[in-house]
Amino acid sequence: MAENDRMAELRAAVLQELPRLDFVLGYARGFDPLHATPITVRNEKDAGRLIFDPTCVQNLATSLYALRGKRIGLVVKGCDSRSVVELMQEKLVDRENLVIFGLPCDGVLDLAKVRTVVDIARVRGAEFTGGEVRLLLPEGEKVLPRRDVLADKCLRCRYPNPLVADHMIGEKIEPQGAEDTYADLDGFEKLGMQERFDFWKRQMSRCIRCYACRNACPLCVCKHVCLADSRDPHWLTSEATLQEKWLFQVMHALHLAGRCTECGECQRSCPMGIPILLLKRKMNRELKEVFNYEAGVDPEAVPPLHTFQMEEDKIKDRGQLW
């Protein structure tokens, strides 16, 4: 029931704000019980379609920059709010044209994980209660421990409550995750250099250059004037070779240095399942170590690569090393 109350509260808040807005971006049920899809809410009927549950994986802040100039409302989870904060830090969003409906979130599904235990195409219904995910299949109900199918980012989530919101809908949630241990990175870095290189070679050989990773990224604001598509300068050729595919991923990671909030949309959007978030996590780990900085947490903070100190605490003078 509490869930119904929360949706009622969200709808009421949306309807209250709608007269001042062009529309509200929220979630509705997608083509099956495990998929949500973003919708534009313009009226009461649309508002009736709003949902919020662990299938609401998309980061709606991705549309913010393209919708600049419009007055819109945005439904955000804790992690999504970090993208909004980062956009505010970079002055890429007009806060006064934006009404944020913040929903504390206790984790979203990673369908890749669900897929390893059930064939998601056969799921007829899904219910999310406490620590469980109950899936209705033709042969009966299948109950999964929630932690087993949550996205990795949720397992280490320290910001379940939106950091900016005009309407906070529902009870705040205690963060589950402790400090990020980067166990995945540690695991990967046990590999030698050549093995790592070969790992990426194999992964990137699946890439189809659809640029879903780029277009799903809330901070890739260049979109169709991206350097990847530019003929002058000609960073990338149009050949579908590993070289070009790989250089794009490197470019994406470098252009997100100090900006990426690890919403994970790049990796989630990849139709070929290439683990590209790892690259961004590496950069973030190093940024944390050198600058004790985390992107998208403080709207007033200056991103570390936009500034400098005359004497850097943690950067050694390379010339003296050898």
Partner 1 sequence: MVARFLATENLSAQAAAWARDYRLLAPVREGQAVVYRPWANNMHPFLGRPPTASPKEALLPQTENLLSFTYRKDHEDLTRTEVFLAEPVPSEPTVVLGLRPCDARGRKLLDRVFLERGVVDPLYEKRRKNTLFITVACERMENTCFCHWTGGGPTSEEGSDVLLFAVAGGYAAKALTGAGEKLIAALPEAGPAAQEELAAKLATPAEPGPAPDLRQAPQRFLEAFDDMDFWMDESARCLSCGVCTYLCPTCSCFNITDENSGMKGKRLRTWDTCMSAQYTLEGSGHNPRVSRAHRLRNRVGHKFCYHPREFPAPGGEGAQPEFSCTGCGRCIKSCPVSVDIRRIVLDLLEKGERP
Partner 2 sequence: MPDMGRDFRIIGFLCNWCSYGGADAAGVARFSQPTDLRIIRVPCSGRVDPMFVAKALLSGADGVLVSGCHPRDCHYSEGNFYARRRLEMLRRFLPILGVDEGRFEYVWVSASEGSRWRDMVTKFTEKIHDLGPMPRMMEPARTLCSLEGMLGQSLAQPDMASGAALVLPDWDKPAGSVLTPADIAGMGAEPGAKEGGNG
Residues that bind partner 2 (CB under 8 A): 110, 112-113, 116-119, 122, 152, 183-202, 204, 235, 241-243, 246-247, 250-251, 253-254, 257-258, 267-268, 273, 275, 277-279, 282-283, 286-287, 290-291, 304-305, 308-310, 312, 315, 317-319, 322
User: Would you count residue 24 as binding partner 1 (CB under 8 A)?
Assistant: no
Q: By C-beta, is 44 or 148 nearer to partner 2?
A: 148
Torsion (CA) 246, 207, 251, 81 in degrees, nearest 10: -150
Scanning residues 125 to 154, which ones bind partner 1 (CB under 8 A)? none
* Cβ 178 to partner 2 shortest distance, Å: 15
Q: What are phi and psi of 66, to 5 degrees?
A: -65, -25
Q: Which two tokens stand for residue 39?
A: 């919708």
Q: Which does 177 bind (CB under 5 to 8 A by kind): partner 1, partner 2, none?
A: none
Scanning residues 182 to 221, which ones bind partner 1 (CB under 8 A)? 202, 206, 208-212, 214-216
In Å, how far are 44, 50, 204, 206 from 274, measured between CA atoms?
40, 31, 7, 8
Q: Which does 38 bind (CB under 5 to 8 A by kind): partner 2, partner 1, none?
A: partner 1
Angle, helices 242-255 vs 193-204, to 10°: value is 110
The closest of 91, 76, 51 to 163, measured between CA atoms, is: 76
* Cβ 64 to partner 2 shortest distance, Å: 25
User: Would you count residue 71 as binding partner 1 (CB under 8 A)?
Assistant: no
Q: Which does 290 bind (CB under 5 to 8 A by kind): partner 1, partner 2, none?
A: partner 2
Q: Which two tokens stand for residue 286?
A: 């190093």
Q: By C-beta, is 128 or 293 nearer to partner 2?
A: 293
Among 7, 21, 36, 85, binds partner 1 (CB under 8 A): 36
Among 261, 265, 281, 284, binds partner 1 (CB under 8 A): 265
What burial letters (b/e) apply to 218-236, b meaning 16+ CB within 10 Å?
bbbbeeeebebeeeeeeeb
**What would the x/- binding string for partner 1 be over residues 43 to 62, using CB under 8 A?**
---------------x---x
Whether cis (ω within 30° of 0) applies to the bond prior to 233 is yes
Q: Which residue is it, tokens 């009736």?
A: 48
Scanning the chain, the segments in alpha helix (DSSP H) are: 2-17, 44-48, 78-89, 111-117, 146-149, 152-155, 183-188, 193-204, 212-215, 242-255, 265-269, 277-291
* Cβ 314 to partner 1 shortest distance, Å: 36
